[in-house]
Structure 1
Amino acid sequence: SAHDMLREARVMEALKPAYPYVPNIVAICDDHSVLGCDFYVMERLKGIILRQDFPKDFELSAEDTRKLCLNVIDKLVDLHTVDARAAGLDKLGKGAGYVQRQIGGWSDRFRKARTEDVGDFEEVMAWLNDKMPDDIAQVVIHNDYRFDNVVLNPDNPFEVIGVLDWEMATIGDPLMDLGNSLAYWIEADDEGPFQMLRRQPTHRPGMLTRKEVVDYYMEKSGFRAEKFDFYEIYGLFRLAVIIQQIYYRFYHGQTKDKRFAAFGHAANYLEKRCQRLIRESTL
């Protein structure tokens, strides 16, 4: 489903009436004589997007940062409680078995992208396969929900006015979606190698911890698991595969971008982090 422009636009059009944070679609075009490919045009949302840190002249107290954080999580809860059938999106996914498909799919992708200088992740993949839960629900999920895909009102930075990048949206398990998001949720006291992967300001005073995010989300959404271990480790494994797929291209000379040179080290770190969480898990 990724990079299918027509699919993304049609999902956004269907979702917009139920989830107002989707940007308006202005036009959809499948006539390749125009640009040589399918494309769509959406409205431009003028606002604040938080990336690795707060922008210049954007300072919030710890109390206000917490308020912002809760509002962003609330919008994920809102998405997961959209009536997919009423929105005409109930056929978007492949039905039951989402968790199983994700573990199998990401495992296959890693094995195809592995390079000889990166660990094999076999312990992690075996654990995920062994501890795999049933789907807890079938809901609309974003699959890439992070601060840098959220647009804030420039006049009221606590207000979310848009959610971007819908190319991976589907019908799936909401806790898997939360696990994906938490893989990027790096706290101020996390160890150095993990800090190197930080791309959003979750280290700021006032930001919720990962545990607080999970507890708050479960309370607000009603989607619960006795333990979140599986979803946390899945999210980190998925991130490792994404990183490794990029590193594979660098390793084999398909890209020369020097930013990717350390991605193999990042994948190795994530394997060790997953292994440590597995040892600590009581599942």
Structure 2
Amino acid sequence: MDRMRLPGAGEPLHTRFLSGGTQNEIYEIRRGEHRSALRIPPVNAPADRDKGIVREWRIIEALDRTDVPHTPAVAVCTDTAVLGRTFYLMGFVEGWSPMEYGKVWPAPFDADLRARTGLAYRLAEGIALLSNVDWRGVGLHDLGRPDGFHERQVDRWTGFFERIKGRELDGMHAATTWLRTHRPLDFIPGVMHGDYQFANVMFRDGAPATLAAIVDWEMGTVGDPKLDLAWMLQDWPEDTSGPEAAAGYVDLTGMPSRTRLAEHYAEVSGRQVDDLDYYLVLAKWKLAIVLEQGFQRAGDDVKLQSFGPIVPQLMRSAAELAETSEYR
């Protein structure tokens, strides 16, 4: 930190573990008045996670020159002699994550449904702003390969499924065939988050709802940003007044409908969403394959075992939407 001329030289260093899993650990770092968060792979994470950390760093550093809510870039260290792994420091963001509260929103969003709608609109606005980033201008020209993006999606994930395959999934052939024959003729490339949902954002305290930061950029790339929208909406109900709205990992009761959020995204981003069905089918299909990997290696892990019945439901949902969609 002294080499990077960060504030707090000579002050005692205080650390606090914030969260962590198999991919990354996050610590609060305090030194005098300087407060940041350190993101680092755990010791036993695969070696390529160090490259992933640098990739994440590139994205948040590039976003410093945009209006996308994110954690500010502070410093990166690729010298593994320091902490054993590549890591970076990002600005500490005051606020809260929906994952802290489970299915109960913090006040005032627990009781005030009108205030709660703002959470959904701010969520949609986050990727709308991200989609409009001048990715070449901010130095992300080599982050991904937008040419052939949709062709690669289907080929890559069907190949991946064949490698992990432990059972047949009803509807997969129908959904895969539909995706191959209904690819968008054209799209406007942009920065994608890759796993966009309430689990990967933070909000400021209190109302009105304010998006503080989009976090966890390990899946970030340059591709088709409308897949982020579909990822966010793939299990979002049209009717948020019924029991279906509370069925997921957060309670969507009282929030705008899926159609209204797609319209809001279009208004903010300037992108048309007439072909949203294609992206919804792709999102459901892809998520089913991702979760199937977890289920196939679940062992005694109860959480991964729970994916067992979810995966077939997702794949059937993708096939049913493909069969009934008016998108041609």
Give the TM-score band, short-chain normalised. Answer: 0.7 to 0.9
Tell me if 1:166 matches 2:217. Answer: yes
User: Relative to 1, partners in 2 of residues 1:262 and 1:271: Cα closer, same or farther, differing over 3 Å?
Assistant: same
Which residue of structure 1 lines up, in the alignment, with residue 72 of structure 2? 24
1:77 aligned to 118, 128, 135, which one?
Answer: 128
Q: Structure 2: which 5+ residue stretches go unaligned?
A: 1-47
Deviates more, 1:48-57 or 1:128-137: 48-57
* 1:54, distance to aligned residue in structure 2 (A): 3.3
User: Relative to 1, partners in 2 of residues 1:195 and 1:266: Cα closer, same or farther, differing over 3 Å?
Assistant: farther
User: Relative to 1, partners in 2 of residues 1:188 and 1:156: Cα closer, same or farther, differing over 3 Å?
Assistant: closer
Query: In structure 2, the residue corresponding to 1:224 is in which secondary structure?
Result: coil
Tell me if 1:45 matches 2:93. Answer: yes
* 1:85, distance to aligned residue in structure 2 (A): 2.0
Mapped partners of 1:88, 1:46: distance in 2: 28
Structure with the largest fraction of helix? 1
Deviations, residues 138-157 of structure 1 (Å, cap 9, x unaligned): 11111112112111111445
* 1:108, distance to aligned residue in structure 2 (A): 1.7
Percent pairwise identity: 27
The within-5 A match list for 1:51-66 is 51=99, 52-58=102-108, 59-66=110-117
User: Relative to 1, partners in 2 of residues 1:19 and 1:63: Cα closer, same or farther, differing over 3 Å?
Assistant: same
Query: In structure 1, the residue corresponding to 2:89 is in which secondary structure?
Result: strand
Mapped partners of 1:115, 1:235: distance in 2: 21
Please provide the CA RMSD for this pair. 2.4
Answer whether contact 1:183 1:239 (CA < 8 A) is retained.
no
* 1:168, distance to aligned residue in structure 2 (A): 1.3
Deviations, residues 170-221 of structure 1 (Å, cap 9, x unaligned): 11112122112212435647887x975x2233x221x122122222212332
Higher CA-based Rg: 2
Which residue of structure 1 lines up, in the alignment, with residue 263 of structure 2? 215
Instruction: Tell me the TM-score normalized by structure 1.
Output: 0.87
Query: In structure 2, the residue corresponding to 1:161 is in which secondary structure?
Result: strand
User: Relative to 1, partners in 2 of residues 1:110 and 1:275: Cα closer, same or farther, differing over 3 Å?
Assistant: same
Aligned residues: 274
Answer whether contact 2:171 2:318 (CA < 8 A) is retained.
no
Answer whether contact 1:27 1:40 (CA < 8 A) is retained.
yes
The within-5 A match list for 1:72-221 is 72-116=123-167, 118-119=169-170, 121-186=172-237, 188=240, 198-201=248-251, 203-205=252-254, 207-221=255-269
Answer whether contact 1:97 1:134 (CA < 8 A) is retained.
no
Tell me if 1:238 matches 2:282. Answer: no
Answer whether contact 2:124 2:229 (CA < 8 A) is retained.
no
Q: Structure 1: which 5+ residue stretches go unaligned?
A: none
The structure with higher relative contact order (CA 8 Å, sep 6+) is 1
Structure with the largest fraction of strand? 2
User: Relative to 1, partners in 2 of residues 1:190 and 1:264: Cα closer, same or farther, differing over 3 Å?
Assistant: farther
